[in-house]
Structure 1
């Protein structure tokens, strides 16, 4: 029976009203000339709308058609869809504000601004609500029919190697154009440490430095050849991990989903671009993808794992913990949550043993072996990016209220004189790199940091959002390179390496930039899209009360949390592990939710 609200007359009225609200939200420009406090009604209200009247009219008509077709699909009403839509709306609203002005002033500057922000929030939320509702209802209907994607063991092997071959084929141009590989600043610094040209530290994980150095050493006196050896090594590892992702997507969600996943890994420039890049993050995202694949296989089998899967969990988990300094905080909690997922006591003990064992090896490596080898620990400043950014913004806004004592406390750990001029709201390195305190100074500073946060929590919150909004704003990424880097870092300590064909990397760079500037395509190589997909997958599982399956979301949420407190807002290489694992998470979510007899929920 057609609901009263969906009778033809009322449906068209609702569609027109919603279209006007959404059209207004889409047409408002965040950055206005002059002060936000000067925006009054009606003198400057016309300045809000961008675009011509014809464009706006076409937009409204398209939105009316959109709502007229999708609103009937949003029944029955889903509170979960409302919450997701509201979250997406706020991500867009605040993300656009911070992208335009590094501030929430366009949203909260005046009462008029607040009112306009509420209207825009409603417009965005109304746009997403029928889409999210239709998605959840579609998954509910699929649960009543069920589906399977069987493939023979030989077929699975063939599919894996076919995926591996195609990924390598599409990545090959990057390797050839950029031979021997793009050496980044971090990569060159790690080589200088390995060859004893500078102090060895664990700022970049020492295991990563060792692997880079050992493989580069195979080139003997030819540094370029050695770098190419390492690039080939990490390319094979990452391609194999992603081929494994495609294989499991094929088993969980069928042929079409696996083909889309394969195209994603083969075509999106981030993956091929990072394959040729001499940087620690490439190997880590491959290891993370492999670890996530093992976690998904464990969850699917409910702990009924053979020796190969147990060994793979141990190896990939240990490498994730040692190849990235914060990888341990992803691996150990994930393994601990595998304990309730396992059906047998033996499997539960095995998961607990893996977590404890990896933690023990990590501590032994970092606390015993590295000091014995003369490798200095990384600076404590690396975990203080966010507090330092909050302090810098506090000084910028409330500097005239600081006492001499407070200034002295800050100056003991950071360069107070340059704090305001160094402050970049989206990158913490300029402020963080002025750190010069000791443990006593830091303890005193943290006490002051806490007191100032309680005094002005709005300043801290604004600084926090400014440092992480890009991870929730689809299409935004840090830097002008489309997330990829095709250049050669020069060494200050005598290491010489250069591109075989200096102009050739520009072709790869041009393709990467073209992709990043093409509407629609840019969503596939920017962090925010994948954060939204993670939210959708998590809520879809939560509303159907699939607690065990929700464990699959945990490593991605932990990785995203680490990104949010990282030194750079919306840096693609920080997000690569989540991007690599996302096709499998979506396929696993689909598989779990479409099992016959699954519990349905209308929440």
Structure 2
């Protein structure tokens, strides 16, 4: 009933927000009735769904005729070949403004900053610098890197399929999962898109699988040297591939340390070392290497939006508050540029004084908190509109970029789309839009709100089935969502939640009961996954 109520609330509140008119409609007493009815309907639907799931046990095989390694290699090659046409059609790959910002840093054309994670830049650098040294140009370097990124993504997705095979899942589970990775156009396009989010999300998918293995073994796998080292390496990749990655691993490792405190002598020193080393590297070490920090404005997008809405709506402010905010941006200008669904209109305006904000972080929070009570309604509306797509199923936005973006100026370094075939790319690029808007049911795969609620449903199901420890496997995904709800710069960015799309098959499979061949139902989902 709690899940049904939360989902109903998301529909009622989300339905009040219109992204076209930029309006937040009033909430009426009748909405309470709609909420109650919708909650009851969802509750009845989910009861039937739970009955369906409980009556459809997945039988696991104890013996497999094909080795998991062969399945892994075969799946990886198959997926790479399925995605390769996207690289050929949109050669040298899908390049956005953020991609170009990474490229100029990887080629040493501008100072390194951790706004674009340093690890991703370092992974790009050999390809771009090598191509430049050989006189092959930026296009070749970019395409080479994206080919390797696509291969790495295919290897990790193929690993999930082989892992299911190793666990004894039947072909009617393995094949749909493989087909999901192969035929989902978003996954295909993202594999050849130069975004840090792609590798980060794919590694997070592997992390989810590792957590399931760990929980299944009741922590025993942490005693295996190779698994323990691998697990720590995956944690490091998550921490360094995106700036919110550290928060994900920090909370997850603390939870694991509590759950498996009986072996604390083995795991605690390594966990603590990892949690200490990451901020040291990203702090003093980066400073010593003259690597700039991510701008403070990037982490306070929501407070900026709340202040911006209060200013735009002529909300009450003291003279001291007005004077401070005016030094960040002139109030009349803030009124003009405030846009309810992204803080970028404020952050990237020429009159936005980022230097002043950097030097007055404490005062900024003081002013923000001081304005909260008299502007509470504006704060709530600004927050809900800025985070809309992350919790409302009916909200959509652009998903992917196709080909090489133009207009970056001299820093574009001669990059441009080169047609390697005479095939019209428009039908291919439209496949994402068709998935998003024209295909009933499957369109949910292009909705980050739907993907989020799917994972939440899985967590609720695991609790109801008394498999609470299994929920830890999905904790990093929920933490990822939480960091976006705290600091997202825009209302609906699919790539930020791409990890949910990759973990979707795992979430769906986890709600089913399992049984070994010639045995009864498993009492614990962990016996399978």
Tell me the equivalent position of 1:360.
Answer: 276
Tell me the equivalent position of 1:174.
Answer: 86
2:434 is aligned, of 505, 514, 531, to 514
Question: Is contact 2:58-2:512 (8 Å) kept?
Answer: no
Q: Distance in 2 between matches of 1:181 and 1:96?
A: 37
Tell me the equivalent position of 1:214.
Answer: 126
Tell me the equivalent position of 2:297.
Answer: 381
Moved over 6 A (4+): none
Residues 119-150 of structure 1: CA distance to partner in whole angstroms, max 9, x if unpaired?
Answer: 332343343222211222344456xx784244
Secondary structure of the 2:15 match is helix
Question: Is contact 1:177-1:501 (8 Å) kept?
Answer: yes
CA RMSD of aligned residues (A): 2.5
Secondary structure of the 2:294 match is coil
Tell me the equivalent position of 2:341.
Answer: 426
Tell me the equivalent position of 1:33.
Answer: none
Instruction: Indicate yes or no: 2:490 matched with 1:572.
Output: no
Tell me the equivalent position of 2:73.
Answer: 161
Q: Distance in 2 between matches of 1:489 and 1:313?
A: 40
Question: Is contact 2:312-2:335 (8 Å) kept?
Answer: yes
Tell me the equivalent position of 2:199.
Answer: 283
Tell me the equivalent position of 2:374.
Answer: 455
Tell me the equivalent position of 1:86.
Answer: 5
TM-score, length of structure 2 as denominator length: 0.88
Q: Distance in 2 between matches of 1:364 and 1:595?
A: 48
1:584 is aligned, of 482, 506, 528, to 506
Instruction: Indicate yes or no: 2:119 matched with 1:204.
Output: no
Shift of 1:162: 3.0
Shift of 1:83: 2.1
Question: Is contact 1:216-1:227 (8 Å) kept?
Answer: yes
Structure with higher RCO (Cα < 8 A, 6+ apart):
2
Shift of 1:340: 3.8
CA separation of 1:448 and 1:596: change in aligned 2, threshold 3 A: same
* Pairs aligned (count): 505
Shift of 1:591: 5.2
Question: Is contact 2:328-2:357 (8 Å) kept?
Answer: yes
Q: Which moved more, 1:498-507 or 1:557-566?
A: 498-507
Tell me the equivalent position of 2:106.
Answer: 194
2:25 is aligned, of 81, 105, 108, to 105
CA separation of 1:488 and 1:307: change in aligned 2, threshold 3 A: same
Question: Is contact 2:16-2:24 (8 Å) kept?
Answer: yes
Q: Distance in 1 between matches of 2:418 and 2:272?
A: 47
TM-score, length of structure 1 as denominator length: 0.78
Q: Which moved more, 1:482-491 or 1:547-556?
A: 482-491
Question: Is contact 2:58-2:514 (8 Å) kept?
Answer: no
1:135 is aligned, of 28, 36, 49, to 49
CA separation of 1:238 and 1:303: change in aligned 2, threshold 3 A: same
Question: Is contact 1:103-1:466 (8 Å) kept?
Answer: no
Q: Which runs of 5+ in 2 are unaligned?
A: none
Q: Which moved more, 1:163-172 or 1:503-512?
A: 503-512
